[in-house]
Amino acid sequence: MAIYAVGDVQGCHNELKQLLEEIRFDAATDKLWLVGDLVNRGPDSLAVLRLVKSLGNRAITVLGNHDLHLLAVAEGVAELNRNDTLDEILNAPDRDELLHWLRNQRLLYAQDGYVLVHAGLLPQWSVAQADGLAREVEAALRGDDYATFLSRMYGNAPHEWDDNLSDYKRLRVIVNAFTRMRICTKEGEMEFKFKGEVENIPAGYMPWFDVPKRASRDATVIFGHWSALGLLLRKNVIALDTGCLWGGPMSAIRLEDRQLFQVSCKNPVTKHW
């Protein structure tokens, strides 16, 4: 059995299929770990959802910001953005089944010293604490009043963690860290406008994974979300968003030996930041 971690798909169905062929994925024995953002901006998000859902427990995906955005739009608590490509899902005959499945996916997954998350972990969070906080958001997503949660999750404030936070402010910080964060201060204050390359990070901030003595440093965190960062392979950090949507490759790494697999993008999308 092999475990393959895969970077952001974002509706690039053909490239995902090609990547599965490249790694010779065996759904009977292998497992696929996906860093989230299965949908949006790419050409075939509906086919991506159907494919990953069809793999059952052979695929583990965590939720990304675009996945949560889809759920919010579907519930009528958020509007489609100009560059969204979600209409096919919203009009699909199996829409409700797919959205129910997506709503029940994890925000964080931890196993055997690995942590799978879309964007990152705040530096003061241990893996155990982060896992518990993820369960809080997952419970809100799976609860009867999940539409209210989705309507309240948007916003940049509070921009740092406080153990005393409660209600939707608490859940918002957790969601923002797991699905939107790229950089923060050494104290864990998040900044959300920056999407560029590391050398252009604003003064006072750093990549979340470079904060000295971050509490999760003994685990290997696998994440995506930051296409301008690209591929980053360290002992305790694996970044896999190589920007397939924008013309870069789609990347997978076999965890047992860190072998990298990539396929090229066929039809890149023009960036609109």
**What confidence tens digit (pLDDT) does each residue in 186-229 have?**
999 999 999 999 999 999 999 999 999 999 999 999 999 999 99
- pLDDT value at 36 more than 60: yes
Supply the pLDDT for residue 270. 63
Query: What's the token pair of residue 94?
Result: 């199996």
- pLDDT value at 268 more than 90: no
Instruction: Give 106's strand partners.
Output: 62
Domains of the chain, each with CATH number or no CATH: 3-263 (3.60.21.10)
62 vs 104: CA distance, rounded Å: 10
Query: What's the token pair of residue 149?
Result: 């949660």
The CA dihedral of 34, 179, 241, 204, to the nearest 10 degrees, is -150
| C-alpha triplet 63, 191, 178: angle, nearest 5° | 20
**Please, are residues 215 and 229 in contact by the beta-carbon 8 Å criterion?**
no
Supply the pLDDT for residue 83. 93
* Nearest in space to 116 (alpha carbons), one of 172, 210, 36, 233: 36
168 vs 154: CA distance, rounded Å: 10
Q: What confidence category does residue 269 fall into, taking pLDDT thresholds of 50, 70 and 90?
A: confident
Supply the pLDDT for residue 30. 98
- pLDDT value at 84 more than 70: yes
- CB under 8 A, 24+ apart: contacts of 142-146: 142/103, 142/104, 146/75, 146/103
Supply the pLDDT for residue 271. 58
- pLDDT value at 273 more than 60: no
* β-sheet with 206-207: strand ranges across: 190-191, 183-184, 206-207
Supply the pLDDT for residue 272. 47
Which residues fall within 8 angstroms of residue 181, CB to CB, at 6 or more apart?
Answer: 119, 120, 122, 190, 192, 208
**What confidence tens digit (pLDDT) does each residue in 58-75 have?**
999 999 999 999 999 999
Supply the pLDDT for residue 267. 74
Supply the pLDDT for residue 66. 98
Supply the pLDDT for residue 163. 96
Give the rounded distance of the alpha carbon of 218 from its chain centre: 21
Overall average pLDDT of the 1-21 stretch: 97
End-to-end CA distance of the chain: 40
78 vs 190: CA distance, rounded Å: 23
